[in-house]
């Protein structure tokens, strides 16, 4: 556990008692604070009280009279589409609002570090798509090369649940826009921006607010080095803001759509080959095509970002390449479930928006596509030019008929995962890939994308076994 610094003998309110909220309460208590907990769910309050925490209804008058700060869980809105009433009350009372990420960055470094030979580092990764894979890939490379490391944030453990840093350790954090938007302290040593596509627009008041939330990791944090995906205008803009000039190698530009030229530090992938250029000269090249855990251009972008971050730590290209070969991939992200009869079955349930689904569709040659679910704002127009490899789409979800009408490929309305898998398995031919890449949220039929992916895997394995 990371003990929160600077809160001894203070009353600190905690709103939302899920994983991050309870973790924050524990870390606050370890730092000498009294955590005053609240969640509108009585079961969550009971769980907190069972751990000895006091619960206070933060909706009532005077609830913040003696409170030093309010710590908010990521799922709770603090500005758009409207502030949560408790957050609004804290702001009116002049009480600072923060989250567990802010607590982590202000508390991670301790006096113990004075005896370390190598100062611990923090790599923070944000972006719309690929940040989980990029984070896991960096952690995998570090583990494979013997570097002490921990993985936390939006993946792995909560940031305050990790162990205090060891000598030379690297903590890898995946951070969502919900987390970067509110954190009062953001000080990573290396910050990574993968890409940007429309997502969570209601929560951020539009695409500008969404980008601004991501940008805070760089503008507020002032990292020693920034790895920036420049395949969208926002990434180009961010890299331009951070670099002092064309040769400033504190910014590493990353691309999978173009060969990057110039006098700075560049990492890009074309036709399955990763290239590193510095000062206009090629420094390394890696063939990504044999790496089964990293299929498709979107995963090649993740590999470029992870490679750049690890190069920033001083790892040699060949050492990184060796680790890339052993990367197994993440569950629900281009995860190979089975191979039978010349057909490959791939679970990409994490493709919850159209941009990530389009990238998944570009990774395979002939696809039986299982898609659909709770459609997000913006429609499916991005997919219309990305379905060239799709032999047929099998549409699931409560609104499957409406979803299917927006597609430019042959469709079959299946509604349920069981029916979609049954039809895809029956019609698949050798060389086909049966791909779950929903391009939609899961909440119309499942609690989360993990449950949806698990159902797909279970249906596939059950069909093949039968």
Task: Express the helix, strand and coil content of the chain in percent, nearest 5 each.
Answer: 35, 20, 40
pLDDT at 398: 94
Residue numbering of the annotated binding site: 127-133
What's the distance, CA 68 to chain centroid?
Answer: 31
Instruction: For residue 166, tell me if it sits in a domain.
Output: yes
In a domain, 447, yes or no: yes
pLDDT band (50, 70, 90) for residue 328: confident
403 and 295 within one domain: no
* pLDDT band, residue 355 (cuts 50/70/90): confident
Q: Can you give the pLDDT at residue 384?
A: 86
Last residue of a domain, one of 325, 351, 380: 325
Q: Which two tokens stand for residue 384?
A: 């219309």
Parallel, antiparallel, or unpaired: how do β-strands 335-340 and 343-347 relate? antiparallel
Q: Are residues 186 and 305 in the same domain?
A: yes
Q: Are residues 291 and 410 in the same domain?
A: no
230 shares its domain with 375 = no
CATH (domain of 70): 3.40.50.720
The verdict on 128 and 85 lying in the same domain is no
pLDDT band at 41 (very low <50, low <70, confident <90, very high): very high
Tell me the two tokens of residue 447: 């609690």
Binding residues for ATP, by number, are 127-133
Task: Give dist(CA 134, CA 129) in Å, integer.
Answer: 9
User: Does 30 fall in a domain?
Assistant: yes
**Strand ranges (E), 279-321:** 281-287
Strand extents, DSSP E, 292-334: none
Terminal-residue alpha carbon distance, the chain:
47
Residue 26 has which token pair? 């524990």
Between CA 269 and CA 133 the distance in angstroms is 16
Q: Cβ(235)–Cβ(209) under 8 Å? A: no
Is residue 27 scored above 80 in pLDDT? Answer: yes
365 and 312 within one domain: no
Tens digit of each residue's pLDDT (9 = 90 or more) over 127-170: 998 999 999 999 999 999 999 999 999 888 999 999 999 999 99
The span from the CA of 13 to the CA of 66, in Å, is 10
Identify whether residues 181 and 299 lie together within a single domain: yes
Dihedral pair phi/psi, residue 300, rounded to 5°:
-65, -35
Report if residue 183 sits inside a domain: yes
H/E stretch holding 424: helix 417-427
Residues 64 and 177 in one domain: no
DSSP code of residue 392: E
- Is the same domain home to 35 and 177? no
Instruction: Name the domain boundary from 75, 98, 121.
Output: 98
What is the reported pTM?
A: 0.88
Looking up tokens 């949560």 gives 84
> In angstroms, rounded to a whole number, what is the distance separating the alpha carbons of residues 269 and 279?
18
Residues 6+ apart with CB under 8 A from 168: 116, 117, 118, 119, 120, 147, 148
Of 46, 149, 53, 159, whose CA–CA distance to 101 is shortest? Answer: 159
The count of domains in the chain is 3
Lowest mean pLDDT among 46-55, 178-187, 307-316, 369-378: 369-378
Helix residue ranges, H only, 108-263: 131-144, 177-182, 201-204, 207-219, 233-242
Length of the chain as a residue count: 466
Q: What is the DSSP string of 35-48?
A: EEEE-SSHHHHHHH
Same domain, 62 and 116: no
Contacts for 400 with CB less than 8 Å, ≥ 6 apart: 372, 413, 414, 415
- What are the structure tokens assigned to 293, written together? 């855990």
Residue 194: give its domain's CATH number: 3.40.1190.10
Using the structure block, give the residue that is written with the tokens 């910014």. 251
Residue 288 phi, psi (nearest 5): -90, -10
Query: Do 21 and 50 lie in a common domain?
Result: yes
Report which of 139, 196, 191 is spatially closest to residue 356, judged by C-alpha positions: 196
Contacts of 201 (CB under 8 A, 6+ apart): 207, 209, 210, 377, 378
Q: Is the model's pLDDT at 466 over the cut of 80?
A: no
Asked if residue 237 belongs to a domain, the reply is yes
Q: Is residue 147 part of a domain?
A: yes
C-alpha Rg value of the chain to the nearest Å = 23
Reading phi first (left if > 0) and then psi (alpha if -120 to 50, else beta), residue 196 is in: beta
Can you give the pLDDT at residue 378? Answer: 77
Query: Domain end: 325, 355, 389, which one?
Result: 325
Residues 203, 134 share a domain: yes
**CB contact set of 287 (below 8 Å; sequence gap of 6+):** 272, 273, 274
Domain of residue 227 covers 109-325
Q: Residue 367's pLDDT is what?
A: 98
Q: What is the pLDDT of residue 201?
A: 87
- Position 330 scores a pLDDT of 85
Q: Is residue 28 in some structural domain?
A: yes
Measured CA to CA, the distance from residue 420 to residue 370 in angstroms comes to 7
Question: Does 375 map to a domain?
Answer: yes
């Amino acid at each position: 556990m990371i003990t929160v610094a600077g809160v001894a003998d203070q009353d600190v309110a905690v709103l939302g008692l899920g994983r991050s909220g309870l973790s924050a309460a524990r870390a606050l208590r370890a730092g000498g604070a009294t955590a005053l907990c609240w969640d509108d769910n009585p079961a969550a309050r009971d769980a907190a009280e069972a751990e000895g925490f006091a619960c206070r209804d933060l909706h009532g008058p005077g609830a913040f009279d003696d409170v030093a700060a309010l710590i908010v869980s990521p799922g709770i809105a603090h500005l758009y589409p409207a502030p949560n009433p408790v957050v609004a009350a804290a702001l009116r009372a002049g009480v600072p609002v923060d989250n567990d990420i802010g607590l982590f960055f202000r508390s991670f470094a301790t006096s113990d570090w004075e005896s370390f030979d190598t100062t611990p580092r923090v790599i923070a990764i944000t972006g719309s798509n690929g940040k989980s894979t990029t984070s896991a890939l960096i952690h995998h490379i570090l583990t494979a090369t013997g570097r002490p490391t921990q993985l936390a944030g939006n993946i792995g453990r909560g940031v305050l649940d990790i162990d205090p840093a060891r000598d030379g350790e690297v903590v890898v954090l995946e951070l969502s826009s919900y987390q970067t938007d509110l954190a009062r302290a953001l000080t990573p040593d290396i910050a990574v921006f993968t890409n940007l596509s429309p997502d969570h627009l209601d929560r951020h008041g539009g695409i500008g607010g969404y980008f601004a939330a991501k940008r805070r990791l760089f503008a507020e944090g002032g990292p020693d080095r920034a790895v920036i995906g420049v395949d969208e205008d926002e990434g180009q803009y961010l890299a331009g803001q951070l670099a002092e000039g064309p040769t400033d190698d504190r910014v590493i530009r990353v691309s999978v759509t173009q060969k990057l030229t110039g006098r700075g530090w560049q990492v890009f992938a074309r036709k399955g080959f990763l290239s590193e250029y510095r000062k206009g000269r090629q420094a390394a090249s890696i063939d990504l095509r044999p790496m089964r855990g990293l299929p498709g251009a979107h995963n090649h972008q993740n590999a470029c970002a992870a490679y750049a971050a690890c190069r920033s730590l001083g790892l040699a290209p060949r050492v990184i390449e060796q680790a890339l070969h052993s990367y197994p991939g993440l569950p629900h992200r281009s995860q190979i479930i089975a191979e039978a009869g010349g057909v490959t079955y791939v679970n990409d349930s994490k493709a919850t928006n159209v941009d990530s689904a389009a990238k998944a569709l570009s990774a395979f040659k002939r696809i039986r596509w299982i898609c659909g679910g709770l459609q997000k704002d913006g429609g499916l127009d991005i997919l219309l030019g990305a379905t060239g490899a799709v032999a047929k789409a099998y549409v699931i979800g409560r609104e499957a008929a409406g979803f299917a009408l927006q597609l430019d490929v042959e469709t079959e309305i299946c509604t349920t995962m069981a029916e979609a898998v049954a039809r895809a398995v029956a019609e698949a031919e050798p060389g086909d890939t049966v791909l779950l890449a929903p391009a939609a949220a899961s909440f119309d039929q499942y609690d989360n994308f993990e449950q949806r992916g698990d159902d797909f895997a279970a249906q596939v394995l059950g069909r093949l076994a039968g």
